[in-house]
Amino acid sequence: MHQIKVVKKDGSEVLYDLTASARVAFESHYQQGWRKRLVEQQMERDLWHLAWFLVKAKGQTTLEFGDEFIDQYDDIDIILDAKNG
């Protein structure tokens, strides 16, 4: 399964499975397939938006997506499971 890795300000890392519901929410928001958007536009903002969908779904934030949410972290990455493309 694909994952999003966020690095908190204290240096700790958290992995979130890129769930079907997060992918669908992302696609619904942007009106474009998540893979296509990440590959063609390569915008870090999109990774943060996926992370926000995942963190919010787990009940770990009440913040809206934006600077205040992003500023809680130092870094983000996507970990793609090669067998799922």
* Per-residue model confidence (pLDDT) at position 82: 59
Question: How many structural domains compose the chain?
Answer: 1
What is the reported pLDDT for 83? 66
Q: Which domain holds residue 33?
A: 3-84
What does the pLDDT profile of the chain (85 residues) look like in tens digits? 899 999 999 999 999 999 999 999 999 999 999 989 888 888 899 999 999 999 999 999 999 999 999 999 999 999 987 565 4
**Residue whose C-alpha is closest to residue 65's, from 48, 43, 41:** 48
**Dihedral angle of Cα 32, 62, 70, 26, to the nearest 10 degrees:** -10
